[in-house]
Amino acid sequence: MTQTAPAPPVEQCPRCGADAGPDREYCLDCGARLAVAEPGVVPQLAAAWQRRLSWYPGDWIWPAALGLVLAIAGAAFAILYSHHGGSHSTLVATTNVQSTPAAPPPATDTGGAPPVPTPTVKIDASQANLQPPGNATTAAGATTPAAPKPSGGLVQWPVGQNGYTVVIESLPSGGGGQAAALRKARAAAAAGLPQVGVLDSGRFSSLHPGYAVVFSGVYTTFAKAQSAADAAAAKGFRSAYARQITT
């Protein structure tokens, strides 16, 4: 069997033209994926997606899209089959039947004593929605918990929360990359960037696994994250860009 030679490293980003290092898989300027698409349908589709859009949800999108297409096709087939099978009408013969009123119950001799009325029980439902004392909050007043602060002034991404953030830098986790990411995060926090921390990319479906991602801020919209990325670039972090984080 002949083996395919490995693809040459990408020297420039195909989207923005920025210089790319030999070990980088994503462009630090625009976030585009730099690695050449691996053989197979899913890697090729992923590469085509990332050449057009900066945000890539992950390889799970392709089997999910296939399942959606199959579900739509099955629903369409069921509708067509029901319309075809329902064209045959069924005739049911009916006759007019006159109902006879039920006879009243026989009177009971109580021996002259008046009947005892049945007492009516009233239930007080005004206390049905009481809640025990505590710090519980209603759904209308619930707020998103702030990111917990570990030692060293850095923060952690809120557990189970999706949103947007500013990626300062992504470094491979192995070979001292984690330590370098922590140093970069502390420098960003010292420069005044808000909510700086380090993500393990393998715990998030929207990130490629194997990287320590230095982030700043937890935002609800992409526009807010992009504004924060511009502010970070003005403070010297020119490779900062907005990115969606999906758990």
pLDDT tier for residue 186 given thresholds of 50, 70 and 90: very high
* Delimiting residues of CATH 3.30.70.1070 domain(s) in the chain: 151-245
Closest to 211 in 3D by CA, of 181, 187, 245? 181
Amino acid residing at 186: R
Q: Write down the pLDDT at residue 51.
A: 66
> Does the pLDDT of residue 135 top 80, yes or no?
no
pLDDT tier for residue 219 given thresholds of 50, 70 and 90: very high
Task: Kindly state the tokens that stand for 180.
Answer: 């370098």
Q: Write down the pLDDT at residue 136.
A: 37
Q: Write down the pLDDT at residue 132.
A: 40
Question: What's the angle, vertex CA 9, arms to CA 6 and CA 11, rounded to 5?
Answer: 160
Decide: 50 and 208 in contact? Cβ < 8 Å. no
Q: What is the mean pLDDT of the chain?
A: 74
Q: What φ, ψ does residue 222 adopt, rounded to 5°?
A: -70, -35
**Residues with Cβ within 8 Å of residue 23, at least 6 apart in sequence:** 172
Mean pLDDT across 190-216: 92
Q: Considering the entire predicted model, what is its pTM? A: 0.40
Q: Which has the minimum average pLDDT: 28-32, 132-136, 193-197?
A: 132-136
Q: Write down the pLDDT at residue 18.
A: 78
Q: Does domain 151-245 have CATH number 3.30.70.1070?
A: yes
pLDDT tier for residue 140 given thresholds of 50, 70 and 90: very low
pLDDT tier for residue 70 given thresholds of 50, 70 and 90: very high
Q: Is the dihedral of CA 148, 154, 157, 159 positive or negative?
A: negative
